Amino acid sequence: MYTRNNTRKILVRGVPIGGGSPVTVQSMTNTDTADVQATIGQIKALAAAGCDIVRLAVPDREAAKALAGIRREVDIPLVADIHFDYRLALLAMDAGIDKLRINPGNIGSNERVREVARAATEHGVPIRVGVNAGSLKKILLERYGGPTAEALVESALEEVDLLDDLGFHDVCVSIKSSSVPVTIETYRLFAEKRDHPLHVGVTEAGTVGYGTIKSACGIGAVLSCGIGDTIRVSLTADPVEEVTVGNAILKAMKLRQAGAEVISCPTCGRTEIDIIALAGEVERRAATITRPMVIAVMGCVVNGPGEAREADYGIAGGRGTGLLFSKGEIVKKVKENRLVDELFTLIEGE
């Protein structure tokens, strides 16, 4: 549907990012990484929710030492998030981590960067360079008059060039802002200049409600340009919510086809049954469907089956009754209190 940007491909424990591979969903644990059992529990919850890659904060040696035990208990690719201390990056790679998030510009001398790149090559570990509007260098803020898209892109280019100059090319890039317009412009500008696979997100997006809207606008807009190889939704919430939202964004963008998509009408004066409750119940039960399909919940028979003729299955409400339909054709008339059960009997029977 979208002409995807032709990016280079990296592999994270066998999961591809870039090169036209399916867009993956990432999240980050918020447990203390040194608490091995709590972190394993959360990683498993994220994987069960449909997360493809999990990142862990590695702020100190205790966290780095815990990585080996965590690695042994889970299969999902793990990313170590490291700032400033290159020795933590070396420990994380020894512990079997699959990817590093580290900015070479933050870890000191060229020799340290070289050592990290050498170890990453030996371990087959790619590196994500992650530039954030909140941590731009003063000189760039002054040159561009603030954390503009141009300033962010220049910062990202400086980081990737440090690795390129060392012959290390297994690099993906994120360039995040909490502003949706800046996010969109930044990714567009960077994608014009380089072929690194891009990790897309709106940072510090907020709580589940508004943060979901900001993420959908920002990530969706970037993806609609064919840009983006992996996404992370940043919410002030249980990280499982980030995965749910990330997968919903990919589903809405038709970039992930797994499972059912429920569409429902906005209701109007023609509605004669409790379509809001029905839509909620259908969405809840449809969450367990793995087959790709569209299910429509429509308020009336006048417009329902016709408006939702592209749906695989649907309900159109009447007065105390409703019609079940499939591909715009009416299947049968059912009492309101049996509508959802009969709909799922129809779906499961095929």
Residues lying near ligand SF4 in the complex (CB under 6 A) are found at 265-268, 270-271, 298-300, 302-304, 307
Specify the residue, 147 or 299, whose C-beta has the smaller distance to ligand SF4.
Answer: 299
Specify the residue, 111 or 329, whose C-beta has the smaller distance to ligand SF4.
Answer: 329
The distance from CA 109 to its chain's CA centroid, rounded to whole angstroms, is 33
User: Minimal CB distance to ligand SF4: which residue?
Assistant: 299
Specify the residue, 266 or 349, whose C-beta has the smaller distance to ligand SF4.
Answer: 266
Alpha-carbon separation of residue 208 from 26, 230, 234, 235, 238 (angstroms): 16, 20, 9, 6, 9
User: What is the C-alpha to C-alpha distance for residues 73 and 182, in angstroms, rounded to an integer?
Assistant: 39
To which residue do tokens 């409600």 refer? 209
Q: Let me know: does 123 contact 93? Beta carbons within 8 Å.
A: yes
Strands 313-317 and 321-326: antiparallel
Q: How far is the CB of 91 from ligand SF4 (least distance, A)?
A: 58
Alpha-carbon separation of residue 153 from 49, 97, 163 (angstroms): 33, 28, 16
Residue closest to 234 by CA, chosen among 205, 209, 210: 205
Q: Which residue stretches of 146-265 are H helix?
A: 149-165, 180-193, 208-224, 239-252
- Token pair of 238 as six digits: 């249980």
Q: How far is the CB of 275 from ligand SF4 (least distance, A)?
A: 7
What is the DSSP secondary structure assignment for residue 105, as one 8-state letter? G
Specify the residue, 121 or 303, whose C-beta has the smaller distance to ligand SF4.
Answer: 303
Q: How far is the CB of 299 from ligand SF4 (least distance, A)?
A: 3
Residue 326 has φ and ψ, to the nearest 5°, of -140, 125
Residue closest to 265 by CA, chosen among 220, 210, 212, 322: 322
Q: How far is the CB of 44 from ligand SF4 (least distance, A)?
A: 40
Specify the residue, 132 or 303, whose C-beta has the smaller distance to ligand SF4.
Answer: 303
Specify the residue, 127 or 300, whose C-beta has the smaller distance to ligand SF4.
Answer: 300
User: What is the C-alpha to C-alpha distance for residues 323 and 298, in angstroms, rounded to an integer?
Assistant: 10
Q: How far is the CB of 279 from ligand SF4 (least distance, A)?
A: 10
Alpha-carbon separation of residue 213 from 205, 216, 236 (angstroms): 9, 5, 13
Q: How far is the CB of 319 from ligand SF4 (least distance, A)?
A: 12
Q: How far is the CB of 298 from ligand SF4 (least distance, A)?
A: 4
Specify the residue, 31 or 303, whose C-beta has the smaller distance to ligand SF4.
Answer: 303
Q: How far is the CB of 307 from ligand SF4 (least distance, A)?
A: 6
Specify the residue, 18 or 305, whose C-beta has the smaller distance to ligand SF4.
Answer: 305
